[in-house]
C-alpha cells in the first residue's frame, strides 16, 4: 500500500513539473501564439516577452552548442542574475550565441538597478544586433558599463547604449571582430569619475565603423570622454564625438591602426576647461586621415611617447589652446588647417617631424607670446605652408628656439603683428637651420629676425621679404659659418 501511494505521489510531481515547464518554454508549431511578439530562439522555443526570459532563451540554445535568440519589439527590464550581488550581469551571452533585437528604436533593454552590466558578452563567436540598452544613469564605477563585450570573432552591430554613468559601450580584449553602427551616450554626472561613450581596450585585428559617442553634462563630473582606443592592427572609420569637453584618446601602446573620417565637436569656451580634442599618447605606426575637430581645449595633441604617425587632411577649428601639438618622433602632417585657435597654431617639440601644405589662420595667442613654435626639436621640415593673420604675438608668427637641423622652406608668412620669423631666444641654442624660398610680408616690425643667441651653421637665402616697419632681415647671429644672401627685400 505504501509503495502504491508513493508511486502516485511521484506521478503527480512529474505531471506538475511537466505542466510548469510547458508554461514557460513552448515550441512554436501549430499554436495560435504570435511568434513576433515573443522571445524565441533557433531551437524553436519561445517565451513570454519579459526581461528574465532573455537569459532563459540564451541558456537554452547554449546547451545545444549555440544558436540565435530573437527579441520582439518592446521594453525589457533586467536585473542582476543573483540577488545577493554575486553576479552583477543581467544578461550573459554564451559562446556561439546571437542576441538579435527587432531594431534599436523598438527593442529596449533597461535596468533600474545601480552598478550592474545589463548586457555582458564574455564569450567567443557572439553576435549582438538591433537593440538599445538604457542605463537610466545608474552605475558610478566600472560596474556601470551598459554593454560589455570581450572575446574573439565578435559581431556587434546596430546597438545603442544610453544614459550610462561610466562606459556606455566597453569593448575589451577582442580579436578578429567587427563593430558597426554603435551609439554610446555617456552622462557626466556630479558623481561620475570617468568613462566614455565608447571605450576600446586591447582590441586586435578589428574593424570599427560608424561609431557615435555623445557626452552630455548634468552636473560637475570629471573625466568623461567621447571615445578611448587601445587597439592594434585595426581599421577605424566614420567616428563622431559630440558634446562634452574631451574627444578621442588613443593610448596603451596602440599600433598599426588606420583612422579615417573622424569628426569631434566639443563644447566651446568652456569655463571648466576640459582636456583634449584628439589626444595621442603611446601610439605607434598609425595613419590618421580626414580628421576634423571643433571646440574643446587642445586640438590634436601628440605626446612624447608617440612614434611613426602620419596625418593627412586634418582640420582644427576654434580650440581653446593649441591647434596642433607635436611632441613625438617621426611624424608627418600634410594638408592640415588650423583656424582660430586660442593659443598657438602649432607647437612642435619632437624629432623627425614634417609639416607640409598646411594652413594656420587667425592665430590670436591670448596670453601666449608665440603664435607658432618650434622648440627643443631636431630634424624638422616645415615647408609649403601658409601662416596668416597672426595677432597678440610678442615673438612673431613663427618662433624657433633651442632646435637644430630645421628647414623652413617655401612658406608664405603674412599679416602678423610683430615678426615673421624669430630665431633663438636662449643663447647659442639654434644651429644648423635653413630658411629659404619663403614669402614673408606685412608682419609688423621685422620680416626675419635672427638674434645674437643664434649659433653657427645656418643659411638664409632666396626669400622674398617686405612690408615691415623696422627691417626686412636682421641677422645678429654670433657665428661665422653662415650664409645670408640672395634675398629680395
pLDDT at 33: 53
In a domain, 66, yes or no: yes
Is 73 a domain residue?
yes
Q: Which of 214, 244, 274 is the last residue of a domain?
A: 244
* Statement to judge: residues 357 and 453 lie in one domain: yes
What local confidence, expressed as pLDDT, does residue 160 receive? 97
Same domain, 146 and 269: no
Answer whether 416's CB lies under 8 Å from 445's CB. Answer: no
pLDDT of res. 266: 87
Q: Answer with the one of 244, 273, 294 that is the final residue of a domain.
A: 244
Whole-angstrom distance, CA of residue 49 vs CA of residue 40: 9
Question: Cβ neighbours of residue 103 under 8 Å, at least 6 residues apart?
Answer: 73, 130, 131, 158
- Phi and psi, residue 221, nearest 5°: -65, 155
Contacts (Cβ under 8 Å, ≥6 apart) of 82: none
**The predicted structure's pLDDT at residue 342:** 86
Residue 5 lies in a domain: no
**284 assigned to some structural domain:** yes
Together in a domain, 199 and 331: no
The pTM for the full model equals 0.89
Element (H, E) at 57: helix 52-62
User: CA–CA separation, 351 vs 369, rounded Å?
Assistant: 23
Give the contacts of 125 (CB within 8 A, at least 6 positions apart).
Answer: 66, 95, 96, 151, 152, 153, 154
Are 280 and 400 members of one domain?
A: yes
Give the span between the Cα atoms of 37 and 46, in whole angstroms: 10
Domain match, 41 and 186 both: yes
Number of domains observed in the structure of the chain: 2
In a domain, 478, yes or no: yes
Same domain, residue pair 130 and 58: yes
Report the alpha-carbon distance of residue 67 to residue 70 in Å, rounded. 10
184 and 285 both lie in a single domain: no
How far separated are the first and last CA of the chain, in Å rounded?
Answer: 123
In a domain, 385, yes or no: yes
In a domain, 131, yes or no: yes
Q: Are 273 and 189 within one domain?
A: no
| Torsions phi, psi for 82 (to 5 deg) | -115, 125
Q: Over the chain (489 residues), what is each successive 10-residue block's mean pLDDT?
A: 46 41 46 72 95 95 97 90 62 96 96 77 97 78 78 98 89 97 81 77 97 73 76 97 87 94 83 72 96 91 96 95 95 97 93 98 77 94 95 83 94 92 77 95 93 85 95 86 90
pLDDT at residue number 20:
38
- Per-residue burial over 165-181, b = 16 or more CB atoms within 10 Å of its CB, e = otherwise: bbbbbbbbebbebebbb
Phi and psi dihedrals of 439, rounded to 5? -110, 115
Grid cell 536585473 is found at 79
CA atoms within 13 A on the CB side of 306: 27
Residue from 285, 301, 207 nearest 249 by CA: 301
Containing H/E element for 465? strand 464-466
Query: What is the torsional sign of CA 52, 56, 62, 68?
Result: negative
What whole-number distance in Å separates Cα of residue 358 and Cα of residue 339? 11
Return d(Cα 149, Cα 162) in angstroms, integer.
16
φ, ψ of residue 36 to 5 degrees: the values are -75, -10
Q: What are phi and psi of 11, to 5 degrees?
A: -60, -40
325, 384: one domain: yes
d(CA 335, CA 291): 11
Name the domain boundary from 219, 244, 269. 244
- Taking the C-alpha atoms of residue 242 and residue 111, their distance in angstroms, rounded to an integer, is 25
In a domain, 28, yes or no: no
pLDDT at 255: 96
Residues 324 and 235 in one domain: no
Three-class SS of 452-464: CCECCCEEEECCE
CA atoms within 13 A on the CB side of 297: 14
Whether 289 and 311 have beta carbons less than 8 Å apart is answered as: yes
Q: Whole domain around residue 287: which residue ranges? A: 258-489
Strand partners, 196: 225
Q: Which helix (H) or strand (E) holds 55?
A: helix 52-62
User: 191 and 266: one domain?
Assistant: no
The answer to whether 96 and 68 are in contact (CB under 8 A) is no
CATH number at residue 376: 2.160.20.10
Three-state SS at 273: coil
What is the C-alpha to C-alpha distance for residues 483 and 195, in angstroms, rounded to an integer? 55
Q: Based on the fold, state whether residues 297 and 445 are members of the same structural domain.
A: yes
Amino acid at each position: 500500500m505504501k509503495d502504491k501511494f508513493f508511486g502516485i505521489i511521484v506521478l503527480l510531481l512529474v505531471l506538475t513539473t511537466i505542466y510548469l515547464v510547458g508554461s514557460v518554454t513552448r515550441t512554436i508549431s501549430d499554436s495560435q501564439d504570435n511568434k513576433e511578439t515573443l522571445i524565441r530562439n533557433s531551437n524553436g522555443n519561445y517565451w513570454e516577452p519579459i526581461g528574465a526570459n532573455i537569459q532563459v532563451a540564451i541558456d537554452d540554445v547554449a546547451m545545444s552548442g549555440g544558436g540565435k535568440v530573437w527579441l520582439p519589439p518592446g521594453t525589457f527590464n533586467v536585473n542582476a542574475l543573483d540577488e545577493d550581488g554575486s553576479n552583477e550581469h543581467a544578461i550573459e551571452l554564451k559562446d556561439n550565441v546571437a542576441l538579435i533585437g527587432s531594431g534599436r528604436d523598438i527593442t529596449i533593454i533597461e535596468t533600474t538597478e545601480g552598478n550592474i552590466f545589463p548586457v555582458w558578452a564574455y564569450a567567443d563567436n557572439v553576435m549582438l544586433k538591433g537593440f538599445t540598452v538604457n542605463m537610466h544613469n545608474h552605475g558610478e564605477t566600472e560596474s556601470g558599463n551598459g554593454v560589455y563585450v570581450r572575446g574573439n570573432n565578435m559581431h556587434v552591430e546596430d546597438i545603442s547604449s544610453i544614459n550610462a554613468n561610466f562606459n556606455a559601450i566597453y569593448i575589451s580584449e577582442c580579436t578578429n571582430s567587427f563593430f558597426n553602427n554603435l551609439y554610446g551616450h555617456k552622462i557626466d554626472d556630479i558623481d561620475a569619475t570617468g568613462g566614455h561613450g565608447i571605450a576600446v581596450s586591447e582590441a586586435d585585428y578589428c574593424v570599427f565603423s560608424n561609431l557615435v559617442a555623445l557626452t552630455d553634462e548634468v552636473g560637475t563630473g570629471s573625466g568623461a570622454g567621447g571615445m578611448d582606443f587601445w587597439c592594434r592592427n585595426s581599421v577605424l572609420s566614420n567616428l563622431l564625438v559630440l558634446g562634452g569637453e574631451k574627444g578621442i584618446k588613443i593610448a596603451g601602446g596602440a599600433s598599426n591602426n588606420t583612422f579615417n573620417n573622424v569628426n569631434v565637436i566639443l563644447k566651446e569656451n568652456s569655463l571648466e576647461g576640459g582636456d583634449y580634442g584628439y589626444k595621442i599618447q603611446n601610439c605607434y605606426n598609425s595613419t590618421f586621415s580626414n580628421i576634423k575637430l571643433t571646440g574643446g581645449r587642445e586640438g590634436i595633441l601628440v605626446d612624447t611617447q608617440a612614434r611613426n604617425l602620419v596625418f593627412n587632411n586634418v582640420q582644427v577649428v576654434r580650440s581653446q589652446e593649441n591647434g596642433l601639438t607635436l611632441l613625438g618622433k617621426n611624424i608627418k602632417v600634410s594638408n592640415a588647417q588650423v583656424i582660430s585657435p586660442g593659443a598657438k597654431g602649432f607647437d612642435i617639440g619632437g624629432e623627425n617631424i614634417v609639416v607640409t601644405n598646411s594652413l594656420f589662420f587667425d592665430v590670436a595667442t591670448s596670453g601666449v607670446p608665440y603664435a607658432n613654435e618650434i622648440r627643443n626639436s631636431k630634424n624638422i621640415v616645415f615647408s609649403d605652408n601658409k601662416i596668416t593673420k597672426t595677432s597678440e604675438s610678442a615673438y612673431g608668427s613663427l618662433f624657433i628656439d633651442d632646435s637644430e637641423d630645421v628647414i623652413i622652406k617655401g612658406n608664405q608668412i603674412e599679416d602678423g603683428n610683430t615678426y615673421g620669423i624669430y630665431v633663438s631666444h636662449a643663447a647659442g641654442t639654434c644651429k644648423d637651420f635653413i630658411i629659404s624660398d619663403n614669402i614673408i610680408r606685412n608682419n609688423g616690425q621685422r620680416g626675419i629676425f635672427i638674434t645674437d643667441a643664434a649659433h653657427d651653421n645656418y643659411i638664409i637665402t632666396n626669400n622674398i621679404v617686405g612690408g615691415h616697419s623696422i627691417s626686412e632681415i636682421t641677422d645678429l647671429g654670433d657665428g661665422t659659418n653662415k650664409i645670408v644672401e640672395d634675398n629680395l627685400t
